[in-house]
Structure 1
Amino acid sequence: MPITIADVAARAGVSKTTVSRVLNGKGELDVQTAARVRRVIEELGYVPSARAVGLARGRTRVVGMLVPSLTWPWMGEVLQGAVDVVETEGYGLLLFTCNRGEESMRQFASQVSAKSFDGLLVIEPEGTLDYITDLHARGLPVVLIDDRGHQPLFPSVTTTNRSGGAEAARHLLELGRRRPLVITGIEPFGCTQERLAGFGDVYAEAGSPLDPRLVVEGDFTFDRGRAVVKQLMADGLEFDAVFAHNDLSAAGALLAIRESGRRVPEDVALVGFDDIPYASHTDPPLTTVHQPMRQMGEAAARMLLAHFDGTPLPDAPHVLPTTLIIRASTMVPA
């Protein structure tokens, strides 16, 4: 049987409260009593529950993290960034996904009620923003990662989706590509709207507004990217470039272009978004807009941990810039 705080109290001839005060350094204690309790702890090999000690101190030293799924291509980078910071500072991470829908959220809510963590990092599962906002309003420190343009009423870390789209457009225009196909993300997402707006504004300013027939909603998947290109080619719509709102869609588009007998980048230049590790291993390697996903996870975790130490959470979003990474899917090697 594991040694309990009651065992220590009985052997030392004190109350469990006294043992707890010794463990947590709270209150004034007789020096000899405290020394006796520590000696008994050592003799019995008692290891206090980290959770119990944390609760006694008013902290669990655990950070919660809520995400939609672990299957998103860039999720690992965000998680690694958050974990690097959390573990370095001596905290644990309690991870929740929404893979099972309402059942997952009920389980998460029970952990919130049990005060199992000191604060929460969130990559918003669809339809949960109001609930997360309410948790923050009730006193749970929350930092949102990748706000999708929602601009929530609590702290967030985001990136420059609009300027990323604009930079992709400028690059294609510099290459003389005047008729791009845009495979968007899911339409309600703020990141989709921002990337499309940035891209479209640059083309409009250059006197080449986007052809509405060449702006097609995608779903961030390889299969949808491939299907869009195949359908438009079957319909006889011409395009000399593709801007896909993520790298998986771009990879699907790349396959469909090559299956048609066209060449990338000679016939069709191709730009993705995210810069997941796979992007540099396509054939040809993919030009893409790099999102600093690991840095976003790091920044959100630092913001939350600094709040635990007394630094107020910021009112304005913390914005990290995107960067265009040029590879062979747009530039023919010299």
Structure 2
Amino acid sequence: MPITIADVAARAKVSKTTVSRVLNGKGELDESTAARVRAVIDELGYVPSSRAVGLARGRTRVVGMLVPSLTWPWIGEVIQGAVDVLETERYGLLLFTCNRGDESMRQFGAQVSAKSFDGLLVIEPEGTLEYIATLHRRGLPVVLIDDRDQTSGEIPSVGTTNHDGAGSAARHLLEIGRRSPLVITGPERFGCTRQRLDGFAGVFADAGLPIAAERTSLGDFTVACGAEAVQTAIANGVEFDAVFAHNDLSALGAMQALLDAGRRIPQDVAVAGFDDIPTAAHTQPPLSTVHQPLREMGEAAARTLLAHFEGTPLPNRPTVIPASFVKRGSTIE
């Protein structure tokens, strides 16, 4: 039979309340009594329920994390950054995805109602921002790990410099003499798409080289959309000497389509992406890309939440970690 708190109390000749106070460090206790209780705990090998201890302390020492899907190639880096911080501080992570739509959100909502975690990290699944904002207004500490656009600023967030990161890719392409880029965007509804397009196009416009509409292709962040954009441009006779894709997956699709069409990379067409997923350094040739500080974003979000648990107010402005451009063989020989 498992050892219970009642067994400890009986052996130490104290009440269960006294044992609980020793376990949780609450209340004033005679040191000799506390020492006796601790000795009995060691003797019996009693392991308290972490949930019971958490409830007694008013804290679960668990952080929830809500993500769209674990299949997105950069999600793992963000989660690992958060986990590195949480485990160091002896917190657990309760992970939720939205893979099954409304059913997933119902299960998540049940855990919110059960107070299964102390605070929430969110990589915003589509269509849930207002729900998350409502939870935050009701008192649940939330930090958004946001590579999109959270214009209201209501929820504390950690993000990166999408506009400036895309601008750095544009400046690099201009420096190597590329004047006619094909741009493969992300979905229009995402704030990061607008920021990356504005940042990239702005640099070319300032250089007197505005990007014509036929050299901008609406994508959806997939390998397929990158390949299709290049195939369509070639079929329509659009001249381009570079590709800037709004994420690395689209860039990988573009590279394959270029190679299939007999175009050399980077001699004929230079290719740049955005994200710097682990695969980017191992393509052939290796992909030049804007490095998103994904792990650092996860770390910063987790630290922000843990600092709040210790009494630091949540910030009222976004935490921004700069992106940087990484030059590799897809743009330079």
Using the size of structure 1 for normalisation, the TM-score is: 0.95
- Distance in 2, Cα, partners of 1:279 & 1:39: 56
Tell me by how many angstroms 1:16 deviates.
Answer: 2.6
Q: Would the aligned equivalents of 1:147 and 1:156 in 2 still touch at CA under 8 Å?
A: no
Residue 287 (structure 1) aligns with: 288
Tell me by how many angstroms 1:304 deviates.
Answer: 1.0
Tell me by how many angstroms 1:259 deviates.
Answer: 0.6
Residue 327 (structure 1) aligns with: 328
1:229-269, CA deviations, whole angstroms, 9 ceiling, x for partnerless residues? 11221122221110001111101100100110111111111
Residue 65 (structure 2) aligns with: 65
Tell me by how many angstroms 1:298 deviates.
Answer: 0.8
Residue 28 (structure 1) aligns with: 28
Aligned pairs for 1:72-91 (under 5 A) are 72-91=72-91
Tell me by how many angstroms 1:174 deviates.
Answer: 2.0
Distance 1:14-1:230 versus aligned 2 partners, 3 A rule: same
Higher alpha-carbon deviation: 243-252 or 94-103: 94-103
Q: Would the aligned equivalents of 1:180 and 1:242 in 2 still touch at CA under 8 Å?
A: yes
Is 1:216 equivalent to 2:217 in the alignment?
yes
- Distance in 1, Cα, partners of 2:31 & 2:331: 74
Distance 1:7-1:186 versus aligned 2 partners, 3 A rule: same
Residue 185 (structure 1) aligns with: 186
Residue 156 (structure 1) aligns with: 157
Tell me by how many angstroms 1:175 deviates.
Answer: 2.2
Residue 101 (structure 2) aligns with: 101
Q: Percent identity?
A: 72
Aligned pairs for 1:49-60 (under 5 A) are 49-60=49-60
Aligned pairs for 1:223-262 (under 5 A) are 223-262=224-263
- Distance in 1, Cα, partners of 2:32 & 2:199: 70
- Distance in 2, Cα, partners of 1:40 & 1:325: 59
SS in 1 for 2:167: helix
1:84-124, CA deviations, whole angstroms, 9 ceiling, x for partnerless residues? 11111111111111111111111111111111111111101
- Distance in 1, Cα, partners of 2:50 & 2:104: 25
Matching residue's letter, 2:71: T
- Distance in 2, Cα, partners of 1:251 & 1:164: 19
1:12-63, CA deviations, whole angstroms, 9 ceiling, x for partnerless residues? 4443323212221222335554444334333322110112111101111111
Q: Would the aligned equivalents of 1:64 and 1:119 in 2 still touch at CA under 8 Å?
A: yes
- Distance in 1, Cα, partners of 2:150 & 2:22: 47
- Distance in 2, Cα, partners of 1:150 & 1:42: 51
Is 1:135 equivalent to 2:159 in the alignment?
no
Q: Would the aligned equivalents of 1:158 and 1:317 in 2 still touch at CA under 8 Å?
A: yes
Is 1:145 equivalent to 2:137 in the alignment?
no
Matching residue's letter, 2:97: T
> Which structure 2 residue ranges, 5 or more long, are not aligned?
none
How many residue pairs match? The answer is: 332
Residue 6 (structure 1) aligns with: 6
1:130-179, CA deviations, whole angstroms, 9 ceiling, x for partnerless residues? 11111111111111112411133021100000011111111112222221
Using the size of structure 2 for normalisation, the TM-score is: 0.95
- Distance in 2, Cα, partners of 1:282 & 1:33: 65
Q: Would the aligned equivalents of 1:81 and 1:296 in 2 still touch at CA under 8 Å?
A: yes
Residue 267 (structure 1) aligns with: 268
Distance 1:241-1:37 versus aligned 2 partners, 3 A rule: same
- Distance in 2, Cα, partners of 1:50 & 1:245: 44
- Distance in 2, Cα, partners of 1:300 & 1:76: 15
> Which structure 1 residue ranges, 5 or more long, are not aligned?
none
SS in 2 for 1:181: strand
- Distance in 2, Cα, partners of 1:171 & 1:147: 22
Matching residue's letter, 1:45: G
Higher alpha-carbon deviation: 24-33 or 240-249: 24-33
Matching residue's letter, 1:153: E
Matching residue's letter, 2:103: E
RMSD over aligned CA atoms reads: 1.5
Residue 173 (structure 2) aligns with: 172
